[in-house]
A and B are shown apart, each in its own frame.
Chain A
Amino acid sequence: MAAASPSVFLLMVNGQVESAQFPEYDDLYCKYCFVYGQDWAPTAGLEEGISQITSKSQDVRRVLVWNFPIDVTFKSTNPYGWPQIVLSVYGPDVFGNDVVRGYGAVHVPFSPGRHKRTIPMFVPESTSKLQKFTSWFMGRRPEYTDPKVVAQGEGREVTRVRSQGFVTLLFNVVTKDMRKLGYDTGPVDTQGPSLP
């Protein structure tokens, strides 16, 4: 295959779901998955994962550290539908039911290099106070039908959410052939030798 004219570009993401700050909750685990457009296809690695349960650190920071690795490679022909990572964090409530503690999404960084992202997490709100009480009581909090809806804008106007905490992610992004296909994402100074 001619390296000069590639027909796809590759995006390799690895990194980790580092830590989270949920001031009110403890013993959380998180799930991640990637949402991407139709022109994207994963070629290697895991598209989704579920982490271990972590407890709060005993120091002042009170962070929940997962350090849960992410490693996935995509190929694509079109930057439209750039992959987003969708995180959902779960943990037990007072009665021991697993309930969702936060949803969040962020685009995989465009430019190659090391990126740290802190994303705010939120959960959908109950429609009424009574609902809120019963959902708390029954341990069945409102959830998204699919966590992937947080990665899209459509239909979000009907939901109301409440913020919950933050999750810090670390990405190491490597791209291949983006520049050859005419997509220039990197900062100017870190660009390799420019093509003739």
Chain B
Amino acid sequence: MVSEKSHVDSQQEPRQEEPETGLLNMPARRGPRSLPPIPSASRTGFAEFSMRERMREKLQAARSKAESALLQEIPTPRPRRLRSPKERESETEFGTEPGKEVQSIQQKDDAQIYSRVKFREQKIKSKPQAPPGFPSAEEAYNFFTFNFDPEPEESEEKTKMKARDGTSQEEEAGEEEEPPVRGGSKTDEEGLLNGKDAEDFLLGLEHMANDFVAVRPADYESVHVWLQKEKEILFIPSRLTVPTYKKLPENVQPRFLEDEGLYIGARPEVAPTNQNIMENRLLVQEPRNDFGPSARSQGRRWFGDDGRILALPSPIRPFPCRPLLSTREQSTKAELETLYRKAVKYVHSSKHMVGSGDPPGNFQLDIDISGLLFTHHPCFSREHVLAAKLAQLYDQYLARQQRNKAKFLTDKLQALRNAVQASLSPETPQQSLDTNQKTIKEYKYEIRQTRKLRDAEQEKDRNLLKTLIKVWKEMKSLREFQRFTNTPLKLVLRKEKFDQKADEEAYEAEIQAEINELLEEHTEEYEQKMEEYRASYQQWKAWKKAQRAKKRKKKEAAEEHPEEEAEEAPPGEEPVKPVPPEPTDPGELEQKVRERAAHSRRRPGEPLLLPELSLAGSVTPNEQCPRVEVLRREDVRRRCVYLKVLFNNKEVSRTVSRQLGADFRVHFGQIFNLQIFNWPESLTLQVYETIGHSSTTLLAEVFLPIPETTVVTGRAPIEEVEFSSNQHVTLDHEGVGSGVPFSFEADGSNQLTLMTSGKVSHSVAWAVGENGIPLIPPLSQQNIGFRSALKRADAISSIGTSGLTDMKKLAKWAAESKLDPNDPNNAPLMQLISVATSGESYVPDFFRLEQLQQEFNFVSDEELNRSKRFRLLCLRSQEVPEFRNYKQIPVYDREIMEKIFQEYEKRLRDRNVIETKDHIDTHRAIVAKYLQQVRDSVINRFLVAKHHFLLTDLVVEEEVPNISILGLSLFKLAEQKRPLRPRRKGRKKVTAQNLSDGDIKLLVNIVRAYDIPVRKPPASKFQPPSRSARAFSEKHVASPSTHSPAHSPDYALGQVLVRPFVEVSFQRTICHTTTAEGPNPSWNEELELPFRAPNGDYSTASLQSVKDDVFINIFDEVLYDVSEDDRERGSGIHTRIERHWLGCVKIPFSTIYFQARIDGTFKIDIPPVLLGYSKERNMILERGFDSVRSLSEGSYITLFITIEPQLVPGESVREKLSMLKKFESQEDEKLLQATEKFQAECALKFPNRQCLTTVIDISGKTVFVTRYLKPLNPPKELLNAYPSNPQATAELVARYVSLIPFLPDTVSFASICDLWSTSDQFLDLLAGDEEEHAVLLCNYFLFLGKKAWLVMGNAIPEGPTAYVLTWEQNHYLIWNPCSGHFYGQFDTFCPLKSVGCLIGPDNIWFNIQQYDSPLRINFDVTKPKLWKSFFSRSLPYPGLSSVQPEELIYQRTDKAAAAELQDRIEKILKEKIMDWRPRHLTRWNRYCTSTLRHFLPLLERSQGEDVEDDHRAELLKQLGDYRFSGFPLHMPYSEVKPLIEAVYSTGVHNIDVPNVEFALAVYIHPYPKNVLSVWIYVASLIRNR
């Protein structure tokens, strides 16, 4: 806080001294400040001192006084940030500490700054609202953060004044001192800066940071103050209209060019307020910006003569338009060339008819024909001729009188003269002299011109009057001569008298003025001539001299050309003479002028003659006329006239026939309303005349203009159209005829020939409808209609439409036709032309679709196609399988191997070539090919669908919960965050996208196994085994002393029968458990296998198509003692571990992926014959206490398999596709709706149960599922095998079906959908998944007369699958179609775990029982409470036809081919086994092989059962001295590869006993339709010694 208030008290004297010393003393001085005024202290202090406020105020007042004095010493350049730091708080400080002595000891150097500070305070103090209280935190903050601006000096003064007002009287006392002091301060300023050490000042600054931490209240400035300030700073132009005089130079009237007839384009529309603001701003700001003398006019240059802001005409076209499309003239491609054909106008639609698109043509044209007047007619008498002439002249006179041009010109002349006078007078200073001269000159010239015009006009007037009078005189004389009057015309001349004197004066003045002007003119001319003369004279003189010189020369030389001289002389002599007749001029001129005036002008005093023509005269009645005249009159009376109205050259109406009047006028007064349908092209009146009852003659045609759209009835003026006819008529009476010469003179001279002519007075206008709408066709059409009429003026019609795009043509046309640039009609055109011509912009005469394409082509297309890199990129973006996930395409072509494409190209090439290399028989090759093609097409379809996203694909959103869930979640809110008894939470699912190799693991938990085959005790052998061959383990476990086989009972009971362990292999990674003991081992071990997606692509689609299987092999670990000698036994153990394959479980990865976890007990696939092992023993042993288990034959293993982390299984695309309606169907629409309804209902009740109503067939169509079920005949051989035993037949059939290779759809089609093939397709393809097997099996059973259904449900390990259910006499059997096994309904080891629905040939039943396990449900589908049927009474079965064939046809399989295949497979397998043992010699025991080969057919016949004992016996007999381990494998045949895999997985080859021998036999049993059952017998033999 600012504590230094000392200066308040301190006097000026000490301060004056101290600045000099201060620098050094300062630190020392600081020290003494023993009571530093800490803010907190000061606050408390303040609290104490609050009562002293009064006193403080006084002090303040005093202080401020002192301050003002101090102000002088403040150097002017003030540091910014010090400016306004403390306002209020410092003040409080002042108040608190004044009494303290300590402060009075102050640093001088600070003083300056403080004074400044205080000064600020003073200012603030003046504000009444600020309390003198504590500094708040905010104030302190403000202090540090505010940016203080320097205040201008003047304001300080002001504020000072204010402050003074507010302060106490004490201050007032000091006030007097102030002014002088301040005056001094100003002068001192510089001195202070230099003299008073700047260092001091700087030091002061340093202190500031510490000392000036002041807290003060926030500034508040009231709105009014703000507004005030803003007003000072901001300039807001007024919105009021600016008076015109401000915008124009003084004393200038606004000039409106428009009124003067110049065309000004339409101004763009601007809101008047905006315009006003702009104007105001311009007026105020412009002068401010440039402080010139012409500032005011600078501002005005923005305004036009009319006082408005200058503006270009609005560039917006009034109507939208589109550029014309025209193709390039020289198109290279012929197809694109445009043939030009002249447009054929469709006359009716566009030209004549009012457009059909318009409101029904209710247009009307009103033609008013008021009358007809003949200006000449054959029946005219001579008097009539004169009368007509007179009338014509009078009309002319009247017209002239109306225009009164002479008067106008006289006035103009007068004005000009005045102007000249004015400009000649000295008081026009603003214009410079020479401009003045110039204008005067111009004026004079104009005066001359005007005078000439006026004279001509006056003369004409006078002449007209004269002729008028002359004709009238002639007429009068004619009347007198013929002694009758034919016409009522009468001319009266009115005289208007003038004041003689005034008139004379005016006349004289006029003449004088004229004379003067002429004189001036002449003098001017004269001077000019003199000038010329002088010049020429000079020339002449020079020439003369030269001439003379020449002459002399010539004379001297030769005098041959005297003529030449003479010729040359005249030009030189001419200018010599013209001395103008100056003195004679005035008189002559005057005379001339007077003469002219007399000629053309009314003489002074002469009355002004005003002719007046009237029809007041009387016509002589017939009786008094001569016969010829009477005849004529009669003739006239006989004549009738009528008019025909022709619209578009068609007569539309005619007037009544009227008699010709004596005055040759016909009055019609008829109005014709033409309802227009066709477009008005022409409007014609034909004048017909009939004489008596004889024929009518066409006198003339009158063409009427079609009115403009603005002309409507009521506003149209009556117009007169003249017509004339060229007929020749000679009459035998007084009538002068027509086209015949006649004369007024008696002698026949001065002949006249007049033609029949006349005028029609009419008006044509558009009618107005009842509601005031003019019945005019729209303008757009009118343009077309007016084409003929406006041809000259209309640019489009005269140069053609194409001309509009060609600016040059247009400009040319504009120049030629002399368009009036000031005509508003032409404004857009003129603008266009000016833009086009001035800008010199090149308008191409073609339109290019892909502009700049050429510029973007950086290489030619061929080159681009040749680029390997480009091709690679293309293929990748097309998602071609080979390149779909290709990464890091090389930068350069050269780095791309040609090899990459080879495979792809080969595939393309081989698409139709069948290759038999991989597939041993051709049929399978074809099938494989076909499957591949189906797969490709489906995948392509899938890829399309994959790029179609649904919201759920992108956004995870909670579904709207129903009320119960909502309620539950409400409870959940109240739940504890960390409950004491935590509950299991579901694993978080991971989307497969952001995964990489190693992230995913397969967890296999091997729990236990049951009924593992046990080793057959050697005791059962007839041959005593050698000692060394005894199993080490056996010996080990049994009492070591009993080696003898005689102890077989003990041995059987006491020893470990088997030491099984489990080996899991997946993707060539192998893990195995520890070894357990006994036939019912329990491992409870978790194995972790890494999972690697193909190509590192962890997308859902890719994962779905993983074809790898998890192999779970059970081995028996056998330890053999290899010690050669018994004596060594004591010292060392030499054992060899052998593993004997016992069986395997194979689970496809896709199943795990879709199921997320697999949990259950699986039957181990154990070969029918396991040499050296048996189950019987086991069973005998255990039968007693474990009879239940023995019900099922075979061994079981309990497993739990899952993927860590859990993957979100890709939803089958089927739903998506069906949602997209990608698959069409031939089913009835109603049926499809019913299926949807049914499924929805089922899903509502039991969302987990599978309900199937429609499936997709192999061509991608939706088919109702029952259509697949139909009795179908199994192969005859199978039926004939056991004719009497239906059960055996059924089993055989099931076996046959299971021999068809299994190929899951999900793998082949990347889980796109289940495609159901019909049974014949299935048999042709020889591959299918559960559904196909089940359908076929079910169909066979139906054929066999069983009641059979398709069961849709869940099984392990397959997941959702299809089984077959049959009804035997009194129980149900469940058949696994893929393995051929069957189970009773209550078999606990039945792999089918849940039943969703049953499908029969004519109905579908959905399981609506409480349970879905086959053990607990009732399969009686007739009970509607248990089974919901699809077809019911409400929806009866419509009798759907089956999609299956009528009958299956089976070809016998070629046995020879099977035998050949058998040999080949055997050979391949043998090679493979040798390959797998690269480090060992593989010997084949041929003898054993042949034995095995014989044995295999037996196995086939017995289906692998009940042969073991015989077989064993036989083997033992033959291979007595070999230890033998081996087993037959049985598989359906699809390809070689699975066979190899199977053999490999048994691990037979892993035996590395040196003297091992192998035996391998293959047997293929052919079934009809190329179904092959493959048996592979693998064995290893070790010779016993």
Interface residues of A (CB under 8 A from B): 5-8, 33, 38-41, 76-78, 80, 95, 124, 126-128, 130-131, 134-135, 137-138, 140, 142-146, 148-149, 154-159, 181
Contact = CB atoms under 8 A, between A and B. Distances in A.
Nearest to A8: B891
A142 B957 contact: yes
B961 A154 contact: no
B892 interface: yes
29 contacts: A6-B891, A7-B890, A7-B891, A7-B895, A8-B888, A38-B886, A38-B887, A39-B888, A40-B888, A77-B889, A77-B891, A124-B955, A127-B957, A130-B960, A134-B960, A134-B961, A135-B957, A138-B969, A140-B958, A142-B956, A142-B957, A144-B956, A145-B991, A146-B993, A155-B954, A158-B954, A159-B954, A159-B955, A181-B891
B889 A78 contact: yes
Contacts of B958: 131, 134-135, 138, 140, 142
A148 B961 contact: no
A135 B959 CA distance: 9
Nearest to A156: B954
In order of increasing CB-CB distance, the 9 nearest A-B pairs are A155-B949, A142-B957, A140-B958, A77-B891, A124-B955, A158-B951, A143-B956, A142-B955, A38-B887
Interface string B942-958: 00000101110111111
Which of B890, B891, B892 has most A Cβ within 10 Å? B891
Contacts of A38: 876, 885-889
Contacts of A157: 949
B954 A145 contact: yes
Interface of B: 873, 876, 885-892, 895, 947, 949-951, 953-958, 960-961, 966, 969, 973, 991, 993-994
B1219 to A, nearest CB: 13
A159 B951 contact: yes
Contact of A154 (B891, B947, B951, B966): B947
A158 B954 CA distance: 8
Contact of B892 (A7, A80, A155): A7
A137 B991 CA distance: 25
Contacts of A6: 891
Given A8-B891, A39-B889, A138-B969, A145 B876 contact: no
Given A146-B994, A154-B949, A158-B949, A77 B954 contact: no
Nearest to A177: B891
Nearest to B948: A155
With a 10 A CB-CB cut-off, give which of B892, B960, B961, B994 has the most chain A CB atoms. B960
Contacts of B951: 127, 158-159
Nearest to B958: A140
Contacts of B950: 158
Nearest to B977: A96
Given A154-B947, A158-B954, 6 more contacts: A41-B887, A128-B960, A135-B958, A142-B955, A154-B949, A159-B955
Nearest to B884: A38
Of B889, B954, B966, B993, chain A has the most CB atoms within 10 Å of the CB of: B954
Contacts, number: 91
B804 to A, nearest CB: 43
A142 B952 CA distance: 10
Contact of B955 (A134, A144, A148): A144
A85 to B, nearest CB: 15
Given A38-B885, A154-B949, A158-B949, A143 B955 contact: yes
A72 B1559 CA distance: 60
Contacts of B887: 38-39, 41
Contacts of B969: 137-138
Contacts of B956: 142-145
Nearest to A48: B994
Contacts of A158: 949-951, 953-954
Given A146-B991, A146-B993, A148-B993, A131 B957 contact: yes
A73 B991 CA distance: 26
A102 B301 CA distance: 56
A41 B957 contact: no
Contacts of B955: 124, 142-145, 159
B974 to A, nearest CB: 12
Contact of B960 (A131, A148, A149): A131
Contacts of B960: 128, 130-131, 134
Contacts of B954: 124, 144-145, 149, 155-156, 158-159
A35 B950 CA distance: 22
B889 A126 contact: no
Contact of B953 (A5, A80, A126, A145): A145
Nearest to A76: B888
Nearest to A135: B958
A135 B966 CA distance: 11
A163 to B, nearest CB: 16
A111 to B, nearest CB: 20
A8 B950 CA distance: 38
A7 B887 CA distance: 14
Most chain A CB within 10 A, of B892, B951, B961, is at B951
Contacts of A156: 954
Contacts of A40: 888
A121 B1169 CA distance: 68
B628 to A, nearest CB: 103
Contacts of A33: 994
A144 to B, nearest CB: 6
Nearest to A80: B873
B888 A77 contact: yes
Contact of B888 (A5, A41, A124, A138): A41
Nearest to B886: A38
Nearest to B966: A134
Nearest to B949: A155
A142 B960 CA distance: 12
A155 B888 contact: no
A130 B951 CA distance: 17
A104 B1345 CA distance: 67
Nearest to A143: B956
A158 to B, nearest CB: 5
B145 to A, nearest CB: 10
Contacts of B873: 78, 80
A63 to B, nearest CB: 18
Contact of B994 (A142, A143, A148): A148
A97 B62 CA distance: 66
A36 B969 CA distance: 41
Contacts of A128: 960
Given A78-B889, A181-B891, A126 B957 contact: yes
Contacts of B973: 95
A7 B894 CA distance: 11
Contacts of B891: 6-8, 77-78, 181
Contacts of A155: 947, 949, 953-954
A117 B857 CA distance: 33
B1428 to A, nearest CB: 31
A156 B888 CA distance: 27
Nearest to B892: A7
Contacts of A149: 954
A33 B994 CA distance: 11
Contact of B890 (A77, A127, A148, A154): A77
A95 B947 CA distance: 37
B878 to A, nearest CB: 14
A39 B876 CA distance: 11
Nearest to B887: A38
B328 to A, nearest CB: 34
A138 B972 CA distance: 10
A140 B947 CA distance: 27
A135 B955 CA distance: 13
A147 to B, nearest CB: 9
A184 to B, nearest CB: 13
Of the candidates A77, A128, A156, A157, the one having the most CB atoms from chain B within 10 angstroms of its own CB is A77
A93 B873 CA distance: 46
Nearest to B961: A134
